[in-house]
Amino acid sequence: MKDEHVKQYAKLIRIAQPDFIHVKGFKSLGFSRKRLGYSKQPFHEEVQDFAKKLEKELKDLGYKKLAEEEYSCVVLLGKDKKGMKIRGI
C-alpha cells in the first residue's frame, strides 16, 4: 500500500463525502485462494497503517478511526459519532 494510493483514495473521498470509510484487507478463503494467495493478503498492521495515513490526509474533513476488527482485517473511519442516528455506535 503505497503513499500515492492514500492521496488517490483521499481525493475520491473528498468528492464523495461518505459517512463511513471501511479500510479493508481481503482474506484468502475458499475459491479466492486460487486467484489471490496468502502472499497477496495484507496483514492487519498494514491495513491499520493505511487507515492512519488516510485519517491524517482527511483530518480537515473530520474523519477519524471509529472502530476496527483485527480478525476481519478492517478499520472503520468516519465522522463524529455524536451526530449519527445509528444504534450501537
| Average pLDDT over every residue of 6-21 | 94
Structure-block grid coordinates of residue 87: 444504534
Report which of 72, 75, 31 is spatially closest to residue 52, judged by C-alpha positions.
Answer: 75
CB proximity list for 53: less than 8 A, separation 6 or greater: 3, 6
Q: Are 64 and 77 in contact (CB under 8 A)?
A: yes
pLDDT in tens, 34-88: 666 566 677 888 999 999 999 999 999 999 999 898 888 899 999 876 666 655 5
More confident position, 5 or 3: 5
pTM (2 d.p.) = 0.77
Residue extents of the structural domains in the chain: 3-79
- Please tell me the predicted confidence (pLDDT) of residue 88: 53
Alpha-carbon gap, residue 44 to 71, rounded angstroms: 8
Alpha-carbon gap, residue 46 to 16, rounded angstroms: 24
- Please tell me the predicted confidence (pLDDT) of residue 32: 59
